Amino acid sequence: MDIIYINDLRIEAVIGVYAWERQLKQVLIFDLELGTDIRKAALTDSVADTLNYKEVAKRVMAFGTDSRYQLVESLAEAVAELILKEFDTPWLRLRLNKQGAVRGVRDVGVIIERGRREEAWHGSM
């Protein structure tokens, strides 16, 4: 499997459990690794034959900006599900960073890996 990646995708979103957090937008940083097969695109040299990272980034930005989750865990899971379904990728790794969420700590967040169930099942045979 090949990987197309998007690093340091910054989105302003309302996220958090405290009342003051619900009143403002905070910067969230996404790093994405998307499993795919790039061989056809490499042969044709056509964006139509690959996982279009620009479209993925635009969709994640739109979704994240409009979201109102309390937990980064919930937002990460929703974004992973969206990418798996809308972009037909069999696997992804997503890192969601909420910088400055804890005093004295630069980075805090979650890293998740998800795959389509049927892909995971077929791979285990």
Residues marked as catalytic: 98
Tokens of 23: 């009143």
The β-bridge partners of 96 are: 30, 110
β-bridge mates for residue 87, sequence order: none
Report the candidate in 32, 60, 64, 36 with the shortest Cα–Cα distance to residue 49.
36
What residues form DSSP beta bridges with 6? 32
Signed CA dihedral, 77, 72, 53, 55: sign only: positive
